[in-house]
Amino acid sequence: MKSKTFLFTTLLIGMLAGFSAIKVDVCHNVNNNPHTINIALPAAVAHLIQHEGDSLGTCEDAQNDDEIPTR
């Protein structure tokens, strides 16, 4: 039984390490001063939950989303 528990624990730790190795861009907007940060995926999730003005992607992407297309 110990070997199955060890294997499961090792796999779980490996998966968590893999997720923290994935980095994403977040537009971090503090005091109307947006700037792009590149952070680990778990940190990005925390940023998006805790900071209302933050968005996934670069700040340039976020600014382009706000523009109204003209024809």
Has residue 8 got a pLDDT over 90?
no
C-alpha to C-alpha distance for 18 and 59, rounded to whole angstroms: 26
User: What per-residue confidence (pLDDT) applies to 27?
Assistant: 95
Residues 42-69: tens digit of each pLDDT: 889 888 889 889 999 999 865 555 544 4
Q: Which residue has the tokens 């779980």?
A: 12
Question: How far apart (Å, rounded) are the C-alpha atoms in residues 71 and 63?
Answer: 19
Non-local CB neighbours of 33 within 8 Å, separated by 6+ positions: none
- Whole-model pTM over 0.85: no
